[in-house]
Amino acid sequence: MVRTLIWVTFFAAIYQELRKPDAERTWHGKVAGVVPYDFRVPTLDRLRAAYWDPDTDQVFTDRVFGVGWAVNLPVAARKLAALVDQYATASRPALRRSSSRESE
């Protein structure tokens, strides 16, 4: 089902571009105003902006080529580390309570 949805979105993006006059075709935009697509040749700057932009808080960015989103790796790692740290901090009191019960 997911694979079908991906293909439908892909063909919708191509259809959306082919409906435009030749002079107006940009080969990048959003399907239904939601799902980003980009069929231009990728550049190093766009790759860096999509996959390695630690200066932003945005985890999901527009994909460099194709349909969908890319993952901004340093932001995702930072947020995951904060989540793990938060979980570890919240778990410590519970671990202390359970170990004190076992010693009684």
- Model confidence at 68, in pLDDT bands (50, 70, 90)? very high
**Distance between CA atoms of residues 98 and 21, nearest Å:** 69
- The model's pLDDT over 85-98, given as tens digits with 9 standing for 90+, comes to 998 888 777 666 66
pLDDT top residue among 20 and 100:
20
- Model confidence at 37, in pLDDT bands (50, 70, 90)? very high
Q: With a threshold of 0.85, does the pTM exceed it? A: no
**Distance between CA atoms of residues 80 and 102, nearest Å:** 32
**Distance between CA atoms of residues 69 and 64, nearest Å:** 8
